[in-house]
Structure 1
Amino acid sequence: MEHGSFTDNSAATFSLTDEDHTIANAVRFTLNQDPRVTFCDYSIPHPSEARVNIRVQTTGDPAREVLKDACQNLMLMCRHVRCTFDKAVEDLKQAML
């Protein structure tokens, strides 16, 4: 769910349900690497509620697009880590033969 102004697309708060610090911190990190982002942080409204609010402010680009790009970058990073790990495991198995 997105909360924001209809006139200013460069700032919005996105509410992710069934999520916690794990994904929120990773998305926040990725967003803060983007030069289009002027501010990004997240909050958890209540510890017993599985919901995360991510606030994004940009230099003018639509916050929705910047968040989408950040999520795609995060998926690429995870894929790279997974491939690197799998290769290291395979190399270790080959070395043990």
Structure 2
Amino acid sequence: MEHGSFTNDKDASFTLAEEDHTLANAVRFMLNQDPRVTLAGYSIPHPSLECVNVRVQTTGDPAREVLKDACQELMLMNRHVRSVFDKAVSEFKVEQARLAAEEEEKKKAEEEEIKKQRDLLASMDIESG
């Protein structure tokens, strides 16, 4: 919901329902990165209310458009973070599988060596000699 003036669209406040500091701080950060923004901040009216008020003042561009652009930039950033995270998880799983396979091979080699040693000891029958 937008709260603003009909005559001045460069200053506006927006209410984001069912949101908290998590989204509000990220939006505020993205807004403050935009050179068109002169002021960006947010407040939570009361801890029991699930809404955030975001205030945007710009150099002249409509505050609604600047907020929309900031949200789109935030979505792009989140997509990038997600793709980097997913890639890292995939690489980790591949590495874990490789390490598990190496460990299994090592274990099999040790078992074979123990079996060879047992067979050798069994062939050296001390009592029959």
How high is the TM-score relative to the length of structure 1?
A: 0.98
Letter of the structure 2 residue corresponding to residue 31 of structure 1 = L
Identity among equivalent positions (%) equals 71
Q: Quick check: which has more Rg, 1 or 2?
A: 2
**Equivalent residues in 2 for 1:11-26, closer than 5 Å:** 11-26=11-26
Deviation (angstroms), 1:94: 1.5
2:57 corresponds to which residue?
57
Partners of 2:23 and 2:71 in 1: how far apart? Answer: 10
Q: Which has the higher strand share?
A: 1
CA-based RMSD: 0.6
Code of the residue aligned with 2:88 in structure 1: it is A
- CA distance in 2 between counterparts of 1:90 and 1:33 reads 32
Q: Which has the higher contact order (CA 8 A, sep 6+)?
A: 1
TM norm structure 2? 0.74
Q: Report the Cα distance in structure 1 between the residues aligned to 2:46 and 2:91, rounded to whole angstroms.
A: 45
1:84 is matched with 84
Aligned residues: 97
The one-letter code matched in structure 2 to 1:95 is E
Structure 1 segments of 4+ aligned residues over 3 angstroms from their partners: none
Listed as ranges, the gaps of 5+ residues in structure 1 are none
Deviation at 1:19, TM superposition (A): 0.5
Other structure's SS at 2:3 match: strand
What CA distance in whole angstroms lies between the structure 2 residues aligned with 1:29 and 1:19? Answer: 16
Structure with bigger helix share is 2
| Structure 2 spans left out of the alignment, 5+ residues | 99-129
Q: Secondary structure at the match of 2:60?
A: coil
Asked if residue 39 in structure 1 is aligned to residue 36 in structure 2, the reply is: no
Structure 1 residue 95: Cα displacement: 1.8
Q: What is the CA distance between 1:92 and its match in structure 2?
A: 1.2
